[in-house]
Copies of this chain bind each other. A is one copy, B any other.
Amino acid sequence: VIQKVTVIGSGSWGIALANLLATKGINIKIWSFSEEEAKILNEDREYKDKLPGVILPSNVHITTDIKEAVEFSEFVIIVVPSQTIRQNAKIIAPFIKKDSIVVCCSKGIEEGTGKLLSDVLEEELHNCKIAVISGPSHAEEVAKGIPTTVVSASRDIEVAKVVQDVFMCQGFRVYTNNDIIGVEIGAALKNIIALCAGICDGIGYGDNTKAALMTRGIAEMARLGVAIGAKKRTFAGLSGMGDLIVTCTSMHSRNRRAGILIGQGKSLKEALEEVKMVVEGVSATKAAYEMAQRLGVTMPITTEAYNILFNGNNVKQAVKDLMQREKKDEIS
């Protein structure tokens, strides 16, 4: 039984997960990048900006000492911005114990290499057991105890089951899945579709268009996933369809907000300046487009998104093109 857990990263998702596990009686050490953030959390026990109203139990301790944090336990949750995964893994590596379980709760694809985050962790952390947690899970709702389901994925199903046991509790139901590739691809590529959902909203299209986009979007995500070894049915699950639904219908998604601006006629540059935050869907579009080209996978929505974002194509023309492709059977 796991009694101590390390959480690398003190964003809202990291804090929500730390709080959940602490409530189960597990002792938690959170590593924060920021001295100031660590001080606030240790003193106030609440991070008012990120998760107002969530008071961390006394068995949660926050540190900025990476050695202290990593050596604290053999169950390490990584929940840092996706493009900092490799550099964070490198600073963790010297201190991590052999056979530790490392759970990646960040989502994305490494820019430049196109690698899955679990593969980045495999490369940097030797002799560890890698798993990921994914699914429709707004941190704010998890922190409030609103019923939430996720999937714990690992190539080694026994590792996935240990992770399931550690997290599962009344408001948080965890399923296992050994298709880590499918789970990570779904988590990373959903932001492309969220961006496109925003574009549709920006143009003024309706629910029919968005449902079509999501349904055909998951179909092409699955095609790319299968081409790199994922199982198709994973995309019908919580980390695929489930997470896609939450992301595309959320008012809070930056991807959707950026998309709305683009749908209204702004350029990518203008939209990003206005949103003022990292819009993961942009890099995900680039990564997926390049993978699809390399592997010869047909991804009509991603291709149109790529051409809108990077070649200045017209958004309405893109929708017309998608609607007027050759007639098709749904499942072939």
A: residues with CB less than 8 A from B are: 135-138, 141-142, 144, 146-149, 151, 157, 161, 164-165, 168, 170-171, 173-177, 179, 205-212, 214-216, 218-219, 222, 231-238, 241-243, 245-246, 249-250, 319-320, 322-325, 327-331
Shortest Cβ distance from A19 into chain B, in angstroms?
A: 15
B residues in contact with A164, CB < 8 Å: 327
Contact A237 B151 (CB under 8 A): no
Contact B211 A147 (CB under 8 A): no
> What are 7 A-B residue pairs whose CB atoms fall within 8 Å in the complex?
A136-B208, A149-B215, A149-B323, A207-B249, A211-B242, A237-B331, A249-B249
Q: How often does this chain occur in the complex, in copies?
A: 2
Contact of A141 among B207, B245, B331 (CB under 8 A): B207
Q: With A216-B149, A218-B241 in contact, do A207 and B331 touch (Cβ < 8 Å)?
A: no
B residues in contact with A170, CB < 8 Å: 320, 323-324
Shortest Cβ distance from A248 into chain B, in angstroms?
A: 8
Contact of A138 among B176, B177, B207, B246 (CB under 8 A): B207
Contact of A330 among B238, B322, B331 (CB under 8 A): B238
Shortest Cβ distance from A226 into chain B, in angstroms?
A: 12
Contact of A246 among B157, B208, B232, B233 (CB under 8 A): B208
From A136, which residue of chain B is reached at the shortest CB distance? B211
Contact A323 B215 (CB under 8 A): no
Contact A208 B238 (CB under 8 A): no
What's the Cα separation between A141 and B329 when bound, in Å? 24
B residues in contact with A236, CB < 8 Å: 215, 218-219, 222, 235-236, 241
Contact of A211 among B173, B231, B246 (CB under 8 A): B246
Contact of A177 among B175, B214, B330 (CB under 8 A): B330
Contact A208 B328 (CB under 8 A): no
Shortest Cβ distance from A136 into chain B, in angstroms?
A: 3
B residues in contact with A250, CB < 8 Å: 207
Shortest Cβ distance from A81 into chain B, in angstroms?
A: 22
Q: With A215-B238, A237-B215, A241-B218 in contact, do A171 and B330 touch (Cβ < 8 Å)?
A: no
Contact B245 A327 (CB under 8 A): no
From A171, which residue of chain B is reached at the shortest CB distance? B323
Contact A330 B237 (CB under 8 A): yes
Q: A151-B330, A164-B327 are in contact. List 20 more A-B contacts (CB 8 A).
A: A136-B215, A138-B207, A141-B207, A141-B208, A148-B212, A149-B208, A165-B327, A177-B330, A208-B246, A211-B243, A211-B246, A214-B245, A215-B236, A215-B241, A218-B241, A232-B233, A235-B236, A236-B236, A236-B241, A238-B330
Contact A246 B323 (CB under 8 A): no
Q: With A215-B136, A237-B215, A245-B214 in contact, do A330 and B176 touch (Cβ < 8 Å)?
A: yes
Contact B212 A168 (CB under 8 A): no
Shortest Cβ distance from A253 into chain B, in angstroms?
A: 11
